[in-house]
Amino acid sequence: MRHSSKLLFWVAMAAQAAPVDWIWSARYVVAMDARRQVIENGAVAIRGNQIVDVGPRDGIDKAYQPKQRLDRPDAILTPGLINTHTHAAMSLFRGVADDLRLQEWLEKFIFPAEARNVDQEFVRWGTRLACLEMALSGITTYTDMYYFEDTVAAATKEAGLRGMLGQTIIGFPAPDYKTPQAALAGAERFLKAFANDPLIVPAVAPHAIYTNSDETLKAARALADRYRKPLVIHLAETKTENDDSLAKRKMTPTAALDAMGVLSGWTVAAHGVWLNDADLKIIKARGTGLSHNPSSNMKLASGVAPVVKILGLGIPMGLGTDGVAGSNNDHDIMREIDLAAKLQKVTTGDPRALPAEQAFAMATILGARALRMETLIGSIQKGKLADIITISLNEPHAVPMYNVYSQLAHALHGSDVADVMVNGRLIVRDRKMLTLDAPAVMAKAAEYQERVKKSLR
């Protein structure tokens, strides 16, 4: 009798519990919501591509009946990480030329290597390699600027990642389009083709102010606005860019772009190293999102972005890995969190600068704000898209743990990421990529290495 009444109780409970596709639970859920909730023994319920609830595990387990579940008592569950600036396909050039100035690096190595090697298949395999690396280190959304962006989009969807993907417009013959006019027309086809895609936000990506004519830059802005899509661009990356603009235009790159109207609208600008107070005023007024790339800025000796000042003004700034050809050379955003914080401390002379929680926010909710996607991603909240990851604490460098943000910012690595879900789809489980054939992608990378080496002889 006792047995059957217990059974009846559970049948009744199950009937009350709402059906969901997944429950994920973990030792800590770090929500990155406005209240910065950290829920010990927390859980997240997911239906379709949405988060339907988050809270203590007991409550979630009572309220929902999942089809599948993933329990990680030795892990932290966080929002998926956001990489706000990269050139994914350049992964096949990883480390091809190090220890050079940006202009020399670009002109002597990168542009020739691209001219000789980059075609649609190169972009397909390079993007697959980058997506594999990014997914395995917890990145669920990334912003890209490259050539053959429709192929980047196809590879990104194959991997199951989310992307704000920008078709490059540049003032010299590129691997995909020989003129800026052709690139603009190609970008328009790209915007149309991916206008309503669940994973892809197509974008227009004029490379920079110094590689495009003013007419092209204005046309890029007009095109992005016509389709209500973002414009992504490199901005104020080096002192040379800044000095050249001052010499030629008597204006900083930011002021010059603003005078052309290029910053009026949905814009994501990478680097923002050489920004003066007037530039910051413009960026704040225009609602431009910024991407901070500490590894790249350090490796190319570009300078240090005034991150503390930028965030203090309420300008949203996320983190980026940039291309890995010679300016990083990996896609581990966990490393960028650590470097961003330490770089601000050492340059301001203040160890309180960019505290761990704020540095981690740059890789999540602030990154989402920089992309103007904060209503969709960047935190674990009811109604947001189900982009979540687990990070294992079952490692010597992860214990003991007195403060979860300190661990996330300064002790854990991308390689500690165990599981990744994007848009409600599990794409990494137990450090295994479920969507891409990892051995095949890595074999192709070795093949391309030989090809690229020969081409540079």
Chain residues in the site for Zn ion (CB under 5 A): 322
Measured from the CB atom, the residue of 241 and 322 that comes closer to Zn ion is: 322
3-class DSSP state of 105: helix
Q: What's the distance, CA 273 to chain centroid? A: 19
Contact assessment for residue 435 and residue 158, using Cβ atoms and an 8 Å cutoff: yes
Q: Which strands, in side-by-side order, build the sheet including 200-206?
A: 81-86, 139-146, 162-169, 200-206, 231-235, 267-271, 289-292, 317-319
Do 153 and 166 form a contact (C-beta atoms < 8 A)? Answer: no
Q: Residue 87 CB, nearest distance to Zn ion (Å)?
A: 6
In the complex, the smallest distance separating the C-beta of residue 302 from Zn ion, rounded to whole angstroms, is 11
Residue count of the chain: 457
Report the nearest approach of Zn ion to the CB of residue 442 (Å): 24
Q: Which is nearer to Zn ion, 258 or 322 (CB)?
A: 322
Residue 232 CB, nearest distance to Zn ion (Å)?
10
Residue 167 beta carbon to Zn ion: minimum distance, rounded to whole angstroms: 15
Helices (H), 97-140: 102-104, 111-117, 120-136
Closer to Zn ion at the Cβ: 339 or 436? 339
**Closest to Zn ion by CB, 77 or 89:** 89
Cβ neighbors of 7 (< 8 A, separation 6 or more) are none
Could you count the other beta carbons within 10 Å of the beta carbon of residue 323?
26
Residue 105 vs 190, nearer CB to Zn ion: 105
Alpha carbon distance 158, 146 (integer Å)? 18
Contact by Cβ (8 Å): 133, 83: no
CB of 75 to Zn ion, least distance (A): 32
What Rg do the C-alpha atoms of the chain give, in angstroms?
A: 22
Beta carbon of residue 93, minimum distance to Zn ion (angstroms, whole number): 13
Residue 322 or 338: which CB sits closer to Zn ion?
322
**Based on CB atoms, which residue is closest to Zn ion, 113 or 418?**
113
Q: Are 417 and 80 in contact (CB under 8 A)?
A: no
311, 367 Cβ separation under 8 angstroms = no
Nearer to Zn ion, 114 or 322 (CB): 322
In SS3 terms, 134-169 reads as HHHCCEEEEEEEECCHHHHHHHHHHHCCEEEEEEEE
CB closer to Zn ion, 83 vs 358: 83
Least separation in angstroms between residue 76's CB and Zn ion is 30
Least distance between Zn ion and beta carbon 235 (Å): 10
293/304 Cα distance (integer angstroms): 9
